[in-house]
């Protein structure tokens, strides 16, 4: 009987408890989502900072790439030049350096082109004879000029002339390489 008297109070109190429990559940869910969002922001923040750093470094990186290509063009044959013509030029320049250094040219041959990393390597095989000092002068003469000449391989063999008073004579087999930008 006392239940009938407090029925309205119990109904209002029960409804209030249900609404309060619903609000507490919604608040708990919102708090959990907030914590998850904080963790996600903490994970994203270093990546975002790196991306901002890369974005700020974009102009210097582009300038460095352009400078590298300009240097590559300065040290290699252009792509519009024929490979055969470039090979002949490498052979002539290597022979001129050997003659300037005082070496005797036994043979020279343009070898087949190798492609590596977007560049064509134009190798020329040289067989030379002369004094050891002449070899040094030849290698020094190859350092000047553009496009650059690189010594890919070098084999030196002493030639015995029988007279110790004469300067040391050597037979040299070398492969000289120059680069050409691929079209």
Three-state SS at 104: strand
Place of tokens 């989502």: 33
The pLDDT value given to residue 129: 92
The pLDDT value given to residue 3: 65
Per-domain residue ranges for the chain? Answer: 1-74, 80-181
The pLDDT value given to residue 143: 85
The pLDDT value given to residue 106: 92
pTM of the model: 0.64
The pLDDT value given to residue 45: 92
Burial degree of 134 (CB within 10 A; 0-12, 13-18, 19+)? buried
Task: For domain 80-181, give the fold.
Answer: Alpha-Beta Plaits (3.30.70)
- Give dist(CA 52, CA 56) in Å, integer: 6
The pLDDT value given to residue 182: 79
Place of tokens 């343009």: 110
Per-residue pLDDT of the chain (183 residues; tens, 9 = 90+): 466 777 888 888 889 999 999 999 999 999 999 999 999 999 999 998 888 888 888 888 889 888 888 887 778 888 888 888 988 999 999 999 999 989 999 999 999 988 888 788 999 999 999 988 889 999 888 887 778 888 999 999 988 777 777 778 899 999 999 988 877
Please report which helix (H) or strand (E) contains residue 176, including its range. strand 169-181
């Amino acid at each position: 009987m006392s239940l009938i008297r407090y029925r309205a109070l119990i109904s209002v109190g029960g409804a209030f408890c249900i609404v309060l429990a619903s609000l507490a559940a919604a608040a708990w869910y919102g708090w959990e989502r907030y914590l998850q969002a904080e963790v996600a922001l903490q994970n994203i923040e270093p990546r975002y900072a790196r991306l901002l750093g890369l974005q700020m470094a974009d102009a210097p990186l582009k300038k460095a790439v352009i400078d590298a290509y300009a240097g590559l063009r300065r040290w290699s044959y252009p792509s519009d030049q024929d490979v055969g013509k470039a090979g002949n030029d490498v052979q002539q320049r290597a022979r001129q350096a050997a003659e300037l250094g005082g070496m005797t040219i036994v043979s020279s041959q343009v070898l087949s082109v190798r492609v590596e990393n977007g560049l064509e390597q134009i190798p020329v095989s040289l067989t030379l004879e002369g004094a050891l000092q002449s070899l040094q002068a030849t290698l020094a003469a190859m350092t000047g000029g553009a496009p650059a000449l690189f010594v890919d391989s070098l084999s030196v063999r002493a030639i015995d002339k029988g007279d110790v008073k004469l300067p040391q004579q050597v037979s040299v087999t070398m492969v000289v390489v120059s680069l050409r930008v691929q079209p």
